[in-house]
Structure 1
Amino acid sequence: MNFFRQFIEKMKSLMHASLMKIILFLLIGIVLFFTMFSNVKPEKLVVNLFTVADQTIRSPITIEDKESTEKKKEESKNQVQDVYVVNKEIAQNRVDLVSSIFDSVSEVNREVEKDLAEQRKKQGENEQTVSEPSISEKLTLLKGKLTDNVTKEVMDTSLKALLMYKDNDLEIAKDITVTSINSVMGNKIPADEVENAKKKLEEDLKSNYSLDSDLKSASIDLGRFAIIQNEFYDPSATEELRQQAVDNVDPVKILQGQIIVEEGQLISREVYRQLELVGLLANENSIQSYLGLGMMILAVLAMFYYYFLAIDEKKDTKQNYMIMFSLIFVISLLLMKTVSIFQQFDYAEIGYIFPSAMAVMLIKILMEEKLAIITALILGVFGMIMFNEGVSGTFNVAMGVYIFAGGLAAVLFLKKHNQRSNILQAGLFVSIVNIIAIFSMILLQNGQYGAKEYGIYVLVAVISGISAAVLTIGFLPFFEAGFGILSTMKLIELSNPNHPLLKKILTEAPGTYHHSVMVANLSESACEAIGANGLLARVGCYYHDIGKTKRPHFFIENQLNMGNPHDRLPALASKNIIIAHATDGAELLRKYKMPKEIVDIAEQHHGTTLLKFFYYKAKEKGLDVKESDFRYPGPKAQTKEAAIIGIADSVEAAVRSLNSPTPEQIEGLIKNIVSDRLQDGQLDECDLSLKEIDRIRNTLCETLKGIFHSRIEYPDMKKVKDEPI
């Protein structure tokens, strides 16, 4: 303990230099870097192509496999079939074309009939012979009305056959042919199905018995001519579908922790390429992981450094906090690293035994709640790296959540239960939260475990919480003694009536004990009114008059049913006895190794005030005395709490001397005491403002008015009995 205290004192002396603060955080950064160095170091393997893997290899990172992505896109693109569209206008055009051929035949027949009629008319006048055009001549006339495409595709025999029929027969043939063409062309006809479509039309027309054989043959010929391809390849639509297929392909990724090759599997070219891609081959040299770790550490340290600079505390307190936090943080990191090392022995559950709440509880008890929560979060982040189960560069999110949950649980429990005896209870509470956190992670990951595995998880979670509490209890005395810290927990312990010194006051000077309790109530309310430490004031009040136990009967509150010994003593002797209680009390408190803050309150609560009663008594006796001889040795109050206790001590004693004080008397008395302290310079060395002094005065008035409120005066019970009912 002495060595630790000497080490802390040496650290404090060095921390007065600003450069040392930076060096301290650099040292923390170095510890952080080397504790996580192996966890982020890229794993390098010596593997050869077409050899058998001697271990199961997992990917340390998540990375896109661009080559596989492109291959997948190409496969998806090739799976898209060509898009063909049916041109519905073609069917109508071919129907119109066939109809026009039939119409042209009818037109030729009409022209021939008209020409014959005209010739007969002329024959009747000139008695000449009328000659009808031959079929060949009619065919020539018909071809003149048709396009070259038609005349080339349709056989002459078919056209001659049509020229041999009358309009009625042609109209029937046209309707039948057009109907069949519409029926066949209504379906899609790709290029390789044109002949089948023509055969279908031919069969359809052959089965029709409304036409004689020559006309049916001609209709079949025209129908076959009309049937053409109506389904065509659409390059733009095809390309659009292929692009959509490519766009819908998700990037192929090698996920962090994904197995690339299993033990005993052949290392093929594809496996070798993936190993190279994730940076696991021995010829890969990457510093990205180190840069990332360095940036993270730098950001965390900068945040903590700024936090300690901005904290609203005295310079010495900031330095104490900085050193204390650094020690707790480094101890927790080293402990975390030690536990993580055991994971290499295939004990995956061992990480959950880490006492994550230890550092958080120490910081919450010794420093600030906000800093404790931030520490829990940062430890969770670093825990994700350290407990990555041997896969370099990966993050164990479950462990990070577990560490943060345990730390947060400790903060929440100690928020209302801040006694040393409650630390073990906090450990049990953390254990419960640990179990809930572990089982939540297992269920979220759809883990399948047996009763044995679940039992192990419960066991390590409980050990984590209990060990955090035990370590906290073990480290607390070192930090409290080394840094001279009077924690809230320590104050609550000192307020226990079973403390030997409080028992001493109660048994040897009961009047002083009652007086101290009254002063404690006044001081605590006044401190809380201005934002000072009310608990410190209360506990300080309990011990501030401990020196009176040396000569208890020389103090008026302990003179029950006895004379005042000061009536028989010279003023100088009485002065020495009264003044000595401050120095005797401080000496006794130091003997019991009480915190410095409590000793200071006992020593400073009277400051250098004047013992007016004995001073003027000596003057009345005609003694040549100095005012300084009748003043307390001091020092004056150095803190707000000591100043408030001094005022409350005087106020309580003065009010107690009054018989049935009225609110006006109380208010006037407090105002005079505070004014006297101000004029005497007793508040010059503490940082109380005039506004705070005014608030203290008002608070003391309200508290005392509540204590000495008017009570109902009950009539004498004997008189009540004697009166008739």
Structure 2
Amino acid sequence: MKNLFSLFAKNQSLIYKVFLFILSTLLVIYFLPKGGQFKYNFQKGKPWQYENLYAPFSFTIKKHEDTLKKEREQIRNNAVPYFEYNNEIEASVLENFNNKLETKYVDSLYATPQNTIKKIGDRFISETYKKGVTDEIHTYDGDKLIYLKNGNEIEERSYSQLFKKENLNKKIRELVEKNNIEDAQALLYNLLSEVLDPNVKLNTKLTEASIDAEIKTINPNRGIIEKGGRIIAKGEVVEGDKYQVLNSLKAEFDSQIWSKNNYLWLLVGYSMLVSLVFLMLFLFLKNYRPYIYHNNTKVTFIFFNILLMVFLTTLVLKVHSDYVYVVPICILPLILKAFFDPRVGLFVHVLTILLLGFIVPNSFEYMFLQFIAGIVTILTVSELYKRANLFISVGQITLIYILGYFAFFVIQEGNIQTLQWENFGYFILCGLATLFAHPLIYFYEKIFGLVSDVSLLELSDTNSKLLKELSNKAPGTFHHSLNVANLAEAAANEIGANSMLVRVGALYHDIGKMQNPTMFTENQANSINSHNELDPKESAKIIIDHVIKGIEIARKHNLPDRVIDFIRTHHGTSLVYYFYSKEREEHGEANKEDFIYPGPIPFSKETAILMMADSVEAASKSLKEPSSTSIDEFVEKIINNQMAQGQFLNANITFKEIEMIKKVLKKKLNNIYHLRVEYPE
């Protein structure tokens, strides 16, 4: 049991990666569509690349969606509407009419007797309500057939047979002319317009149910392809009827292959493919980005983003497949580039698109557009902390989507008449969603403890609390740090390293000197040196301890680990040579271990640049009469000595890059000391 626990403790990082690998694979398989993959890849408008294809089994030819849509529209247009008849309205209308007539009829005003008006009105109401009265406005033609539901009986009528209240004035005039009662026309119109209530209304529920029932009877098939029948020959263009037949075969294949018998085999196939993708990611990180591979937090961060994109795409596809381009896939390489580097961003983006190829429709078109958009993202987005850069990049990504989609549509359809312009809106929405990268980066920094260029920009502010404290307590060290930052930033730009990171590292690399500022020469205001009263070992310990104290201060102020790395490595495992020599002079011998910085040595280009810039800038203060020649010589001497000590063995930096850094440092120091060529008098 003890041995098992010990084995687990030694390999917990590897065990965690295996767990992450298995969990991610299972989650992706869960998100994948529950169906097999059709073994032929074809596109509308493209030639058939395979051998002649014969039907492997008999299957029905599915109607095109446009055809089904037209049939549904035709059924809806030709559907017979149902109207509901209310028998109770007529009696109440008659009663209201007679009551109002009694009230409003005045013998002295009308020549027509009241009884005559009553009979005409009652007869009109009775005849009209038998036909049906409606006040609804419909677009039906007059000869449109309708069903009039009266209780349990349904009667066929034409729509024109219903009486519309808007025709009341015309009908009153006809009654007046027929019965010669012109004096009572206004009275009759006023009474009837007040009392007439509709007794026929459109029964929407019954009408829609009838339409739905008829739509369900539509046959989605238009024919049968018998087993062995030729579907398409090699080289034929996939279009029209051929394209529909191939889609029908694909649909039938997908429905047949995902059965209980081969369910397990399909899971095995999916597991192998998804596992290969994640295995490639682990191999890439282990071989080319070991600093990420050995950091489980960073590995988890990468896997989390891949799973997030797969989940979002799956979620959107469940709503509607047309919205698939709304998912901002390009936010993935953008964020990974902000935290790591472009190569990691592009590699992970490519692997994610390969996984999404199992899910999305028109996978070739989708993958092509996403690959191009991802490459554009990597090539265009730089210095993400500059807000304008993100907007420019998003505009370029959106333009690539639009141009790519338009090109695919023209190739497939051969015209732009049926172009779905709303898809361009989806691309614009995708671009707007990509702008969410900034708040997402902030969220990731807090959750995963990572640092991006945006945070580095904030840390580079010399008005920050920690740097102001450094400038107050150790002004000489603060000035030295500013000079080192300028030197290191220029060198980083020259070799293509992260200039913002190395600048921030330079600003904070000596914060440990705040504890005993006067023990460092740059902070000594007079010629009195505190080390003269100390033993060389004590002096060396104070000098060396500024690294440890710097790390403690940095952790107390929550500086990112990437910045603390510069504090740990800026002296590497170098020797405090002055006090080592002094110890040997005073005691005849010295233990070298007491005068060596604890390290580690620089393990990146940026930390190596800081070590060179820091040593050169500090040593330049000892030059009594700086000249171009002396500066060149001492830069060469210092950096060559560091190389001889093996300080850059883990830094992944080339000899060529070191030579380029030397040139930059020489040029900058010459500018600092304002050296000019001496002209003869």
TM-score bracket for this pair, using the shorter chain length: 0.5 to 0.7
Equivalent residue, structure 2, for 1:410: 377
Deviation string 1:196-233 (CA, Å, 9 cap, x unpaired) is xxxxxxxxxxxxxxxxxxxxxxxxxxxxxxxxxxxxxx
Contact 1:11 1:323 survives alignment (8 Å):
no
- Work out whether 1:704 is the aligned partner of 2:677: no
Read off the aligned partner of 1:590 and give its amino acid letter. R
SS in 2 for 1:602: helix
Contact 2:492 2:502 survives alignment (8 Å):
yes
- Flag the 1:350–1:277 CA change in 2: closer, same or farther, 3 A: closer
SS in 1 for 2:529: helix
Contact 1:353 1:461 survives alignment (8 Å):
yes
Read off the aligned partner of 1:413 and give its amino acid letter. T
Q: Which of 306, 321, 325 pairs up with 1:329?
A: 306
Q: Which of 315, 325, 332 pairs up with 1:359?
A: 332
Q: CA deviation at 1:654?
A: 1.8
- The aligned runs of 1:373-412 (5 Å cut-off) are 373-380=346-353, 383=356, 385-388=358-361, 395=362, 398-412=365-379
Read off the aligned partner of 2:14 and give its amino acid letter. H
- Work out whether 1:563 is the aligned partner of 2:526: yes
Q: CA deviation at 1:515?
A: 2.4
Equivalent residue, structure 1, for 2:288: 313
- The percent identity for this pair of structures is 23
- The aligned runs of 1:338-349 (5 Å cut-off) are 338-343=315-320, 349=322
Q: CA deviation at 1:338?
A: 0.7
Deviation string 1:589-631 (CA, Å, 9 cap, x unpaired) is 11222122322322342346555556777899x8999767973
- Work out whether 1:586 is the aligned partner of 2:551: yes
Equivalent residue, structure 2, for 1:602: 567
- Work out whether 1:637 is the aligned partner of 2:601: yes
Read off the aligned partner of 1:563 and give its amino acid letter. N
Alpha-carbon separation, structure 1, partners of 2:280 and 2:235: 48
Q: Which of 309, 323, 348 pairs up with 1:350?
A: 323
Alpha-carbon separation, structure 2, partners of 1:468 and 1:506: 40
Equivalent residue, structure 2, for 1:154: none
Equivalent residue, structure 2, for 1:195: none
Contact 1:605 1:645 survives alignment (8 Å):
yes
Unaligned runs of 5+ in 1: 1-9, 73-245, 261-273, 389-394, 717-725
Contact 1:522 1:648 survives alignment (8 Å):
yes
Equivalent residue, structure 2, for 1:465: 431
Structural RMSD (CA) = 5.5
- Flag the 1:619–1:714 CA change in 2: closer, same or farther, 3 A: same
Alpha-carbon separation, structure 2, partners of 1:402 and 1:527: 34
SS in 1 for 2:559: coil
SS in 1 for 2:26: helix
- Flag the 1:703–1:11 CA change in 2: closer, same or farther, 3 A: same
Q: CA deviation at 1:298?
A: 3.4
- Flag the 1:527–1:442 CA change in 2: closer, same or farther, 3 A: closer
Q: CA deviation at 1:521?
A: 5.0
Read off the aligned partner of 2:431 and give its amino acid letter. G
- Flag the 1:257–1:668 CA change in 2: closer, same or farther, 3 A: same
Contact 2:327 2:430 survives alignment (8 Å):
yes
Q: Which of 625, 634, 652 pairs up with 1:660?
A: 625
- The aligned runs of 1:484-563 (5 Å cut-off) are 485-487=450-452, 490-491=455-456, 494-497=459-462, 499-505=464-470, 509-523=474-488, 536-550=501-515, 552=517, 555-558=520-523, 562-563=525-526
Q: CA deviation at 1:523?
A: 4.5
Equivalent residue, structure 2, for 1:141: none
- Flag the 1:370–1:58 CA change in 2: closer, same or farther, 3 A: farther
Q: CA deviation at 1:490?
A: 4.7
Q: CA deviation at 1:469?
A: 3.4
Deviation string 1:326-345 (CA, Å, 9 cap, x unpaired) is 221111101111111112xx
Aligned residue pairs, count: 491
Alpha-carbon separation, structure 2, partners of 1:375 and 1:675: 38
Contact 2:540 2:579 survives alignment (8 Å):
yes
- Flag the 1:714–1:583 CA change in 2: closer, same or farther, 3 A: farther
- The aligned runs of 1:173-252 (5 Å cut-off) are none
Equivalent residue, structure 2, for 1:111: none
Q: CA deviation at 1:406?
A: 3.9
Alpha-carbon separation, structure 2, partners of 1:384 and 1:13: 35
Alpha-carbon separation, structure 2, partners of 1:460 and 1:524: 41
Deviation string 1:519-563 (CA, Å, 9 cap, x unpaired) is 34554676788897665444322211123345555544355xx42
Read off the aligned partner of 1:566 and give its amino acid letter. N
Contact 1:39 1:385 survives alignment (8 Å):
no
- Flag the 1:423–1:700 CA change in 2: closer, same or farther, 3 A: same
Equivalent residue, structure 2, for 1:129: none
Equivalent residue, structure 2, for 1:140: none
SS in 2 for 1:386: coil
Contact 1:32 1:333 survives alignment (8 Å):
yes
- The aligned runs of 1:24-43 (5 Å cut-off) are 24-38=20-34, 40=36
TM-score of the two chains, using structure 1 as the length reference: 0.53
Contact 2:573 2:647 survives alignment (8 Å):
no
Alpha-carbon separation, structure 1, partners of 2:418 and 2:236: 36
Read off the aligned partner of 1:305 and give its amino acid letter. L
Q: CA deviation at 1:407?
A: 3.2
Alpha-carbon separation, structure 2, partners of 1:521 and 1:248: 64
Equivalent residue, structure 2, for 1:193: none
- Flag the 1:486–1:612 CA change in 2: closer, same or farther, 3 A: same
Q: CA deviation at 1:653?
A: 1.7
Equivalent residue, structure 2, for 1:430: 397
Deviates more, 1:277-286 or 1:329-338: 277-286
Alpha-carbon separation, structure 2, partners of 1:302 and 1:313: 18
- Flag the 1:629–1:315 CA change in 2: closer, same or farther, 3 A: closer
Read off the aligned partner of 1:302 and give its amino acid letter. L
SS in 2 for 1:600: helix
Alpha-carbon separation, structure 2, partners of 1:377 and 1:58: 38
- Flag the 1:675–1:358 CA change in 2: closer, same or farther, 3 A: closer
Alpha-carbon separation, structure 2, partners of 1:575 and 1:428: 56
Read off the aligned partner of 1:464 and give its amino acid letter. C
- Flag the 1:591–1:637 CA change in 2: closer, same or farther, 3 A: same
- Flag the 1:29–1:459 CA change in 2: closer, same or farther, 3 A: same
- Flag the 1:659–1:350 CA change in 2: closer, same or farther, 3 A: same
Alpha-carbon separation, structure 1, partners of 2:242 and 2:260: 19
Contact 2:481 2:506 survives alignment (8 Å):
yes
Alpha-carbon separation, structure 2, partners of 1:280 and 1:712: 81
Q: CA deviation at 1:706?
A: 5.4
Alpha-carbon separation, structure 1, partners of 2:472 and 2:367: 54
Alpha-carbon separation, structure 1, partners of 2:239 and 2:630: 87
Alpha-carbon separation, structure 2, partners of 1:610 and 1:483: 36
TM-score of the two chains, using structure 2 as the length reference: 0.56
- Flag the 1:424–1:474 CA change in 2: closer, same or farther, 3 A: same
Alpha-carbon separation, structure 2, partners of 1:440 and 1:252: 17
SS in 2 for 1:635: coil
